Amino acid sequence: MSAAPQTVRAHAKYVRSSAQKSRLVVDLIRGRSVPEARTILAFSTRAVSRDIDKVLRSAVANAETNLGWNGDDLVVQAAFVDEGPTLKRWSPRARGRVNQILKRTSHITILVAQADGVPVKPAAAAAPATTSKKADGGASKAKKSTKKKKEAVA
């Protein structure tokens, strides 16, 4: 019976971002190496990526401090976002009515493990080379259209 690979986890609770928005960013780093995940989060335009980066740095620090692992050799084994409590606020509207505003929160959890036993998601593949335009510069298409016009006139 083989033992499961040892993991280190870090949590961030009551993060003021909806779980749906946070999951979009967490899906980008799941299964990647820690340096690659940090790069992805650094260049992400979403505000919640800063909070997720904090949790990732915390998980790496836990692994380095508690188990003596090297932070660059770690892989994001699992990352998930759960819904937290929702703050309910009211916004006044016309004619004495109110609209409800839901301020959603989320709980972010990241598990890191050593890269030995965990498959690493490959980096994004290079984009395929673009095809060059025809050597005649599209002249053959122009000839066909003029022939049709001449036939239509005749």
Share of the chain above pLDDT 90, in %: 70
Distance from C-alpha of 66 to C-alpha of 91, rounded to nearest angstrom:
47
**Which tens digits make up the pLDDT trace of 27-40?**
999 999 999 999 99
Model confidence band, residue 150 (pLDDT cutoffs 50, 70, 90): low
- Of 49, 75, 50, 47, the C-alpha closest to 60 is 75
Look up residue 41 and give its DSSP letter: H
Q: Do residues 19 and 51 lie in contact, with contact meaning Cβ atoms separated by under 8 Å?
A: no
Structure tokens, 12 = 């961030």
The pLDDT score that the predictor gives to residue 115 is 86
Between residues 1 and 74, the one the model is more confident about: 74
Please name which of 10, 9, 47, 8 lies closest in space to residue 25, comparing C-alpha atoms: 47
Average confidence (pLDDT) over 99-121 = 89
pLDDT at 90 > cutoff 70: yes
Mean pLDDT to the nearest integer, 78-105 = 97
pTM score, two decimals?
0.74
pLDDT score for 5: 75
Task: For residues 82 and 10, give the distance between their C-alpha atoms in angstroms, rounded to a whole number.
Answer: 14
Q: Phi and psi dihedrals of 112, rounded to 5? A: -115, 150
Which ranges of 48-128 would DSSP assign to H, the alpha helix?
A: 48-62
The answer to whether 117 and 5 are in contact (CB under 8 A) is yes
CATH no. for 7-118: 3.90.470.10
pLDDT digits (tens, 9 = 90+) for 120-141: 677 765 445 555 555 555 555 5
User: What is the reported pLDDT for 104?
Assistant: 98
pLDDT at residue 145 in the model: 59
Q: Where are the domains of the chain?
A: 7-118
Instruction: Give the per-residue pLDDT at 46.
Output: 97
**CA angle, 32 then 82 then 38, to 5°:** 25
